[in-house]
Amino acid sequence: MKKALTQQEIRRRERRKKIRERRIIISLIFFLLIGIAVFGVLLKTKLFPVKNIKADGSSVYSSAEIIAASGITRKTPIMSISQSQVKKLLSKKLPFIETVTVKCSFPDTVQIKVDDAKEYYCFVQKDDYYSVSEKGHILNKYSELPQNVIEVKASSAKLKVGQDLSFGDNQEKETFELITAAIKEKGITLNSIDITNIVHITMKVENKFEVNLGNKANLKEKIAHLAGMIEGIGDRKGKINLDMWSNSDSKGTFIAEN
């Protein structure tokens, strides 16, 4: 005849049973997490290699050049592809590419769609000319000024093909950004700008006006005033001086070309 268990022994057995069950659950969860981690690594390193790569959208670079520069090969696991990384590689190796879209179609096809950048500015540095997109990406280096670009002279501009435009001097950077934004807002055609002397900023606009803006004070207001002067001057060519313009003395002078 079995001896009846005391309440204390029953509770002790139940406690041991719960501990065993908890250990089993923890072990299952641990091995499940390990399995998920291993599967994730396999997805990014071994499983589902790319078999088809397509690229289009550029009139500057061929499909083969874009694919080669993207870093994607026919052995690359499709789950490891990063759009930001592809864009970074293409912008560095193929500077004329401005926008990049990467579409991965499971299980093995990648489509790269790009748009070309256009030469908008040209920064002059000694005897070299660096074309720059409107978004500030440095596209190419020339030995002479290319056509149909805005010539820019800025002493602190940092220029390297394949990188984004930057300035060593914050005043030059702010002046460049302020002027170009204000010019665009007023619908003025900018031909060239010289900000190498921050107290004597000059530019050429509408292919017929040499403009002296003076220092960087009130630049936005000066350009708004300039827009009004251009409309009033009409077809004549000449020099516009806004050097002395201020909120209390908002005047500009125009000297017509002989």
**How confident is the model over 153-172, as pLDDT tens digits?**
999 999 999 999 999 999 99
**CATH number assigned to the domain comprising residue 228:** 3.40.50.11690
Q: Is residue 19 part of a domain?
A: no
Q: Is residue 58 part of a domain?
A: yes
Q: Is residue 233 part of a domain?
A: yes
Q: Is residue 230 part of a domain?
A: yes
Q: Is residue 43 part of a domain?
A: no
What pLDDT does 1 receive?
A: 54
111 dihedral zone (left: phi>0; alpha: psi -120 to 50; beta): beta
Q: Is residue 101 part of a domain?
A: yes
Q: Domain check: are 157 and 127 in the same one?
A: yes
What pLDDT does 14 receive?
A: 76
Whole-structure pTM value: 0.77
Look up the domain containing 137 and give its range.
Answer: 118-164
Q: Is residue 202 part of a domain?
A: yes
195 CB contacts (<8 Å, ≥6 apart)? 152, 153, 154, 172, 175, 176, 179, 201
What pLDDT does 37 receive?
A: 66
Q: What is the pLDDT of residues 114-149, one digit of tens each?
A: 999 999 999 999 899 999 999 999 999 999 999 999
What pLDDT does 43 receive?
A: 55
Position 53 confidence tier, pLDDT thresholds 50, 70, 90: very high
Burial class of residue 82 (count of CB atoms within 10 Å of its CB; 0-12, 13-18, 19+): exposed
Q: Domain check: are 100 and 110 in the same one?
A: yes
Q: How many domains does the chain fold into?
A: 3
Q: Domain check: are 210 and 222 in the same one?
A: yes
Q: Domain check: are 138 and 220 in the same one?
A: no
CB 56 within 8 A of CB 20: no
Averaged pLDDT score across all residues of the chain: 90
What pLDDT does 42 receive?
A: 54
Among 136, 164, 192, the domain boundary falls at: 164
Q: What is the pLDDT of residues 194-248, one digit of tens each?
A: 999 999 999 999 999 999 999 999 999 999 999 999 999 989 999 999 999 988 8
Largest CA-CA distance found in the chain, in angstroms, rounded: 130
What is the crossing angle of helices 170-186 and 219-233, to 10°?
Answer: 40
What does the H/E/C string look like for 97-150? EEEEEEEEECCCEEEEEEEECCCCEEEEECCEEEEECCCCEEEEEECCCCCCCE
> Measured between alpha carbons, how far is 213 from 109 in angstroms, rounded to an integer?
55
- Centroid of chain to Cα 107: 30
Show the tokens assigned to 226: 């300039």
Q: Domain check: are 177 and 240 in the same one?
A: yes
CB 66 within 8 A of CB 114: yes
Q: Domain check: are 126 and 105 in the same one?
A: no
Q: Domain check: are 104 and 139 in the same one?
A: no
Q: Domain check: are 111 and 146 in the same one?
A: no
Q: Domain check: are 107 and 140 in the same one?
A: no
Among 164, 197, 226, the domain boundary falls at: 164
Q: Domain check: are 156 and 178 in the same one?
A: no
pLDDT at residue 2 tops 60? no
Show the tokens assigned to 129: 């000319």
Q: Domain check: are 192 and 146 in the same one?
A: no
**CATH number assigned to the domain comprising residue 104:** 3.10.20.310
Q: Domain check: are 179 and 246 in the same one?
A: yes
Position 250 confidence tier, pLDDT thresholds 50, 70, 90: confident
Q: Is residue 94 part of a domain?
A: yes
> Measured between alpha carbons, how far is 182 from 128 in angstroms, rounded to an integer?
28
